[in-house]
Amino acid sequence: MDRDGVIIENRENYVLSLKDVSIYPFTFQALASIRSSLYKIILITNQSAVGRGLLSLDEAQGINLRLVELIRLEGGRIDAVYMCPHAPSDVCSCRKPEPGLFFQAAEEMGIDLANSIMIGDALTDLLAAERAGIPKTALVMTGRGLEQSALPLPPGMKPFKVFDNLEDALKGMLCFGS
């Protein structure tokens, strides 16, 4: 899943420190509800603030580590975080909509992408997953989701499901709960 706009609020001026992290109220319960899932739970996130020189790679990794720790303290689970630190103008294979981080996670974590799901708040999240061979994708209406849902779809983009938030997406995509 994506980080900003899915488990924490998007910030127009970037998440530059822990004080900028605002966790959605449903995040802890949603992630706790899938703690025992056989799925690996991975965050794949673009963090261009690093590439723009607004914070260091170490600072960005520290924010991610603390976020994972907070989720674990509340009974949830995140197995790994993969982050693209590049600016949009950089040519890289890891910045979504490119699928590089998905391939890296699959190799390092032993993930079968053909049996995976992706939850994001942007079409670029879903495109990256689609390009990596992930067949099930969901757009949440938190973060940029509402705005993104009004955009024309890129040619050839496969259908995806739409949910109000992460909790609803997990219930709908993993078919649990009421």
Q: Is 168 a catalytic residue?
A: no
Name the active-site residue from 2, 121, 125, 168.
2
Residue with tokens 């705005």: 147
Q: Is 112 a catalytic residue?
A: no
Beta-ladder partners of 80: 42
- Report helix angle 100-109 to 123-131, nearest 10: 60
Name the active-site residue from 4, 121, 125, 168.
4
Beta-ladder partners of 81: 43
Contact in structure between 135 and 129 (CB atoms under 8 Å)? no
Q: Which tokens sit at 76?
A: 């949830």
Cα separation, 116 vs 79, whole angstroms: 14
Name the maximum alpha-carbon separation found in the chain: 45
The amino acid that residue 6 corresponds to is V
Q: Which of 163, 124, 142, 170 is nearest to 6 (CA)?
A: 142
- Contact partners, residue 152, CB within 8 Å, separation at least 6: none
Residues marked active site are found at 2, 4
